Structure 1
């Protein structure tokens, strides 16, 4: 699974568009987009350094970097792992609003070096004297600016299609925050096991569908979410959820008109997005207000479950999702 948020055609590009237009105030130059899709590390004989294998090749990085700058989608995953960057690119207010207080404090303490979807001030970046730069944005942007970043400090680059667990592993190794990663992995495994054990019969005998709607969605449309947090429910927990045929675009890419809401009646349980307080997320409110939604058997019988998913690109927010899912499943009628 890639480390992008819940997506349809617009949503699948949402993360990419945050950084796709990245332009440095200095001229870019051609870069090398070669290397493994999944970053790996190995020990190096050189004292105080180790090698990280990423999409831009094998990079020699400090074993214990002190001044790390994060660009694009590496900001919040690094902070989630306990990292304290000295420089960051801008994150949306909606992303910052769901962060734990200490993580938001760590983000706000860093120097803003530009917008993830606009400009990075190369002079401001260099003035921070980073000893490591962590980057995730599109390969096209890397080809334009990668060499400029590498001229400032060792730079590790991941593309947008990097699977989220591999992404967490790679950031932890490069940024020297593996202790936190180990704890998060243990908590993740524990929560997955708990849900499977507690709701095993429901999981085995229930058809689920995850539906959503984003602020990018056309008026009067929704989509079936088969990637993002619902992918965790399907692939890691074992939910019976619809997904696209192999080789086809995700179902989440297709906008469905409200007239098709009634077709959700074929599923036993419906999950839909809510905020941290359990309210339907603002873009999804038009769906729950329709008479067609209110008439669905799952809605009328209490089997439409609001689930909070703050993100799916690092373990912290995914664990929050699992907690919310656990609580939602506990409300199913007849659950003991």
Structure 2
């Protein structure tokens, strides 16, 4: 098994390197000034427009969603923001790297330490924050330090495209493509494994961001944090947000717990987010302890499935999510 996995990863890396060598590293990036030479530049299209960046960055600062993508890609990082939510998803080696890197920002964009970024002397700054959050950042001040590439998701499932752009900007696209190939191969294997038992089932999902103080739970639909990786395995999530809003509000909503039956009464099966150690978050437990929970058809049929690592933001992260889904769905094969 180990030899097979090593061979598969080697093949994926070789494919990624070949793809990278075949042309521009992204559909929206053009090279200029001799991209193959040290000191060359290229034009990169980001959320903040077209930015001239080093073709081969040597000192990179990363924040937000860019942090795991660039740590896992072995980018030349000299400073990062805090990324506590993703710590359980990092490998031991990557977690050690994360901990030793200088922190130049906190968990939110408003906690950006411009002096610390300047002291790191980056030649590229990659901001992994959604466009609406850019208003919390002094972009002119950052641009005076180094070229700034801002790329963030508008919906949770965009971690795929966003992480690719982060890797592309930082010059580690080959590593990203290898991770993508390995993930897609594993997802295809699981999709085939569970095709017979998932076909025809309509899923609902309870996310981890409900607010017990307000008496609400989080219902996630397709394309959200708790659902996007499971969809790659073949789980189909029905329904849509009643009143869609911007960003994640287009793929999740927050009904009151009294609306549990209305929200999930048509679900054949229910997945729900759990902590990395398998424990149930209070926000999810709140819904599951409701008297209405036990009367849901999916609960009566014993079709409720915990999913850990639902906050994956890279293909390496999502491999852990696939493992968690495989473990959770396995009992379906015994029915």
TM-score between both structures, scaled by the size of structure 1: 0.77
Whose helix fraction is larger, Structure 1's or Structure 2's?
2
Q: Does 1:74 align with 2:50?
A: no
1:192 equivalenced with 2:191 (yes/no): no
RMSD between superposed Cα atoms in Å: 2.8
Per-residue CA deviations over 1:103-146 (Å, capped at 9, x if unaligned) read 22111111112324233222221111111110133546546622
Other structure's SS at 1:87 match: strand
Secondary structure of the residue aligned to 2:150 is strand
- Counterpart Cα distance in 2 of 1:325 and 1:141: 32
Give the structure, 1 or 2, with the largest relative contact order (CA under 8 Å, sep 6 or more). Answer: 1
SS at 1:332 equivalent: helix
Q: 1:82, 1:177 within 8 Å by CA — same for their partners in 2?
A: yes
Q: Is residue 223–residue 252 contact of structure 1 (8 Å, CA) maintained in 2?
A: no
Q: Deviations over 1:55-112 (max 9, x none)?
A: 23332323332221112332222223333521112223x4324432222211111111
Aligned residue for 2:286, secondary structure, equals helix
Question: Do the aligned partners of residues 247 and 189 (structure 1) sit closer, same or farther apart at CA in structure 2, a change above 3 Å counting?
Answer: farther
- The aligned residue for residue 231 of structure 1 is 228
8 Å CA contact retained: 1:138, 1:160: yes
What residue is the counterpart of 1:58 in the other structure? 50
State whether structure 2 residue 163 is matched by structure 1 residue 168.
yes
Residue by residue over 1:286-309, the C-alpha shift from the partner in whole angstroms, topping out at 9 and shown as x without a partner, is 222333323434334331110113
Partners in 2 of 1:181 and 1:172 — Cα distance? 6
Provide the residue aligned with 2:175 in structure 1: 180
Residue 106 in structure 1 maps to residue 106 in structure 2: no
Instruction: Return the alpha-carbon distance in structure 1 between the equivalents of residues 139 and 183 of structure 2.
Output: 34
Choose from 73, 80, 92 the match for 1:88.
80
1:101 and 1:114 mapped to 2: Cα distance?
22
1:134–1:157 contact (8 Å) kept in structure 2: yes
Greater displacement, 137-146 / 265-274: 137-146
Unaligned runs of 5+ residues in structure 2 are 1-25
Cα drift, residue 251 of structure 1: 6.6
Evaluate the alpha carbon distance shift between residue 114 and residue 194 of structure 1 in structure 2; reply closer, same or farther with a 3 A threshold: same
Contact in 2 for aligned 1:113/1:124 (Cα 8 Å): yes
Task: Report the equivalent of 1:214.
Answer: 209
The 5 A counterparts of 1:1-336 are 40-46=28-34, 47-48=37-38, 49-51=40-42, 52-83=44-75, 85-92=77-84, 94-117=85-108, 118-139=110-131, 142=134, 145-161=138-154, 163-214=158-209, 216=211, 218-226=213-221, 227-234=224-231, 236-244=232-240, 248-249=244-245, 250=249, 253-263=252-262, 264-332=264-332, 334-335=334-335
Structure 1 range deviating more: 158-167 or 237-246: 237-246
8 Å CA contact retained: 2:272, 2:307: yes
CA contact (8 A) 2:152 2:162 kept: no
Which blocks of at least 5 consecutive residues in structure 1 are unaligned? 1-37
Tell me how far 1:200 sits from its aligned partner. 1.3
Q: How many residues align?
A: 296
Q: Give the Cα separation in 2 of the matches to 1:291 and 1:172.
A: 47
Distance across 2 between alignment mates of 1:215 and 1:260 = 13
| Matching residue of 2:3 | none
Higher mean alpha-carbon deviation, 160-169 vs 244-253, is at: 244-253
